[in-house]
Amino acid sequence: MAHVLAVANQKGGVAKTTSVASLGAALTELGRRVLLVDLDPQACLTFSLGLDPDTLELSVHDVLLGRLSAGIVVSTTADGTDLLPATIELAGSEAVLLSRTGREHALRLALADVLDAYDVVLIDCPPSLGVLTINGLTAADEVIVPLQCETLSHRGVGQLLDTVHDVRRLTNPELRVRGVLPTMFDGRTAHSRAVIADVAARYHVEVLTPPIARSVRFAEAPGTGRSILATAGRSKGADAYRRHARVIAGLAVGDEIPARRTPRGHATALPSSASRPGPDGSGSGGEPDPEGDLLVIAPQGRA
């Protein structure tokens, strides 16, 4: 049975989609069978992984409304992850679901048929606290909250945690908050560190380390239809997501990594970090990235 994680924050532009794509690619490198779910009508995850939302005939919209099973709609991306894609039609799903009994459980019920085929399911929730996000939280075992390291960005964390509390009480009592994932982190500034410390103290949630350093490589990757692990595999951002993926996969430092499953189903040996090519095919992937070297936050306890 797959472990289901929702990536949610009602504030836009905090790297939810980037985190889902990058964690999915990193978990696939570790040999895990991964399904990504694009639950955002903007379909940024779908576009970022090489599919054109404007030309797709089938999407998660059809799955949520019970027209098709999830397995029929799933596509395989160039990164080797499976994707339940989105289109703009998903915006209409919200209105339809609002009139249905048990609307909060639509995604959980839709995913039930495919959970045994995967080890990890990652849900990219929309930047809102509407019925689609509630569906993502109801279907999940855990929620990760990406947080841009700026003062204004953490104002909505409390609202999201209130929503998580309501979901636990009404639709998913087993939901856990895995923690806040700092994104767009600039280790050269005291401000970034102060924001993270304030969130940990104010909301008593665990801050997941290492933080994700600010880098132009994240902005470049969607144009290739791949994650940063493919376009700048040795950058600090890619390395940080690999470290988070190992924790999610339950691997300790030094644990052997199984062969990677490719989209065609063949197993290939995972290259070491020393030999993993960069975007230009050389052994150097990405810029030196001076940001985000070290951040140590004592866990404040899980919500």
The predicted-structure confidence for 34-85, as pLDDT tens digits, reads as follows 999 999 999 999 999 999 999 999 999 999 999 999 999 999 999 999 999 9
**Is residue 297 domain-resident?**
no
Does some domain include residue 106? Answer: yes
Q: Is residue 292 part of a domain?
A: no
Give domain status of residue 303, yes or no: no
Contact 45, 57 (CB under 8 A): no
Place of tokens 């841009």: 148
CATH of the domain at 21: 3.40.50.300
Q: What is the 3-state secondary structure (H, E, C) of 204-217?
A: CCCECCCCCECCHH
Question: Whole-prediction pTM value?
Answer: 0.84
CA-nearest of 194, 197, 219, 200 to 18 is 219
pLDDT at residue 157, as a whole number: 85
C-alpha distances in Å from residue 75, one per residue of 50, 72, 100, 171, 226: 11, 9, 28, 29, 14
pLDDT, residue 293, reads: 38
- Nearest-CA neighbor of 246 among 17, 3, 18, 23? 23
Please check whether residue 211 lies inside any domain of the structure: yes
User: Which parts of the chain sit beneath pLDDT 50?
Assistant: 260-303
Residue 147: helix, strand or coil by DSSP? strand
pLDDT given at position 254: 61
- Per the domain annotation, does 45 fall within a domain? yes
Q: Which helix (H) or strand (E) holds 177?
A: strand 176-183
Per the structure, how many domains does the chain have? Answer: 1
Whether 210 maps to a domain, the answer reads yes
State the residue range of the domain holding 51.
3-268
293 located within any domain: no
Residue 297's pLDDT is 41
